[in-house]
Amino acid sequence: MVLTCLIACWLISNSNAYDSFYSVELETTPYLQPLSLNQQNVKTVDTALCSRKQYTKVQQLFEIVNEWRKLDFEYSTYEQRQQAIIKREFIVEHTLPLGIDIYQNRIFITTPRWKDGVPASLGTIPFPPSEISPALKPYPNWDAHSSSHTPDCGKLISVYRTYVDVCQRLWLIDSGIVNATGERNQICLPKIVVYDLTTDKKLLSYEFPSEHVKEDSLYTNIVVDVASDRCGDAYAYVTDVWRFGIVVYSLGKGRSWRVTNFNFFPNPAASDFQIYGLNFQWLDGVFGMSLSPSSLFRTERFLYFHPMASFKEFKVSTALLQDESVWPDKAQEVAKAFIEIGDRGPNSQSSTSGIARNGVMFFTQVHLDGIACWDTAKSYSRNNLQKLFYIKTNNESLPLSSLIQFPNDLKVDGNTDVQSVWVISNRLPVFLYSQLDYSDINFRILRANVSDLIKDTVCDPL
């Protein structure tokens, strides 16, 4: 044990040796697989044998912004909260954070209605944080959220993810579904809702046409393609993860169309997950999306995408997605315009991704409890993909997987001069298929500076 500790400390503290060790392993080890000195072994290292000075050579550092054992909501009075609990309108153990976004001094967190007892599906907390485990304040207010027992489809039902655009607007996708993994109930049609972040007033609510909603459709992710000088000409792309399509909504036209392609489908070989002592199968199709920066690609912009049950990354020109005349009649004619750009290797399933202004993509690794990066100016090959291993705590630096368990959503903030990567982890499989230990930390929000993350890595475009 002591020898293992000393080897681990030596490898981590001597960056050149560690890099050499890592590069040798890459020749025989699939990308994102544990090294011979694997993450589980690193977790068991007695960190008392390694000084903090040794760890500081590792530059890929995240910080914990918030963490919770369980989530709570900010009620006007204690009595209101107690009444909600008594009526089972609020069941603490049924609330799980899923999506994250950031705008100025607020963090937005979605809490979809996976189960009964979730009183609101979108809330905010302050940033910088005033406390480590704050209660969520429903956004924009309590009245905007419908009860699942007496649904009002004009209000928010079950928000999965959000997107803050360059025009200071918050876009969200409301699935309209409660109990998605149980007795699934599509109580309202899916809808896009847009808020003005300067006033918190609702600007738009667009309900999907019924023909966009297939049996078992589940709309879970949204990105928005817009220029700051053309705010009225925005396009939103929304993924149907269970029926394998992307809905394109044109703000200027006020209507939408559904895009289909065989690359939106899951890969059965990537559908088997074995994590946290659980074995389950997810046939989730097109899921993660990110847009190439308009500042770097002035003549053509791309939407990068991948199914959750997949090891591959794809791209398509946004001009094709925005051409309403193509869909659905000419879908076969343009099928090969959806291009596979590379393969990450086994166990590299990813949920979400985001691209910084410098063209570097960051993406989650849900099977490996990690984050990785890729410079979009380079080929999407395993040699150009970098796993970001380490996280900084108050006392020491540890493997990222020791503090992130199931990184579900990732965002690169776009409305700041100095960009950061934000990650929310939530132990979703344990929540769905087992039982969370509420004496432990279950949910975390983490942040890292983009430049610091990619410094001296293959992702650095400089």
Measured CA angle at 179 (ends 178, 180), to 5 deg: 90
In a domain, 180, yes or no: yes
In a domain, 93, yes or no: yes
For CA atoms 450, 456, 459, 462, the dihedral sign is: positive
CATH of the domain at 255: 2.120.10.30
Measured CA angle at 236 (ends 410, 181), to 5 deg: 60
Counting the structural domains of the chain, the total is 2
In a domain, 261, yes or no: yes
3 and 137 share one domain: no
198 and 289 share one domain: yes
Residue 394 has what pLDDT? 61
240 and 292 share one domain: yes
In a domain, 462, yes or no: no
278 and 376 share one domain: yes
320 and 397 share one domain: yes
Please give the Cα distance from 203 to 170 (Å, whole number): 10
User: Which two structure tokens, joined as six digits, stand for 368?
Assistant: 């490996």
Residue 39 has what pLDDT? 32
46 and 109 share one domain: no
Largest Cα–Cα distance in the chain? 67
The dihedrals phi and psi of 43, each to the nearest 5 degrees, come to -60, -30
What are the tens digits of pLDDT across the range 324-378? 999 999 999 999 999 999 999 999 999 999 999 999 999 999 998 989 999 999 9
More confident residue, 319 or 29: 319
What are the tens digits of pLDDT across the range 197-216? 999 999 999 999 999 999 99
286 and 356 share one domain: yes
In a domain, 460, yes or no: no
pTM: predicted TM-score of the whole model, two decimal places: 0.86
Listed residues 28, 57, 86: the one ending a domain: 57
**Which residue range(s) make up the domain with 39?**
1-57
What are the tens digits of pLDDT across the range 422-446? 999 999 999 999 999 999 999 999 9
Mean pLDDT rounded to a whole number for the chain: 86
Asked if the model's pLDDT at residue 146 lies above 60, the reply is yes
Residue 297 has what pLDDT? 52
What are the tens digits of pLDDT across the range 85-98? 999 999 999 999 99
Asked if the model's pLDDT at residue 181 lies above 80, the reply is no
40 and 141 share one domain: no
Measured CA angle at 448 (ends 231, 240), to 5 deg: 50
4 and 98 share one domain: no
53 and 184 share one domain: no
19 and 91 share one domain: no
Least confident range of 8-17, 84-93, 145-154, 336-345 = 8-17
205 and 314 share one domain: yes
**CB 146, CB 156: distance < 8 Å:** yes
**CA separation, residue 100 to residues 53, 108, 126 (Å):** 33, 5, 13
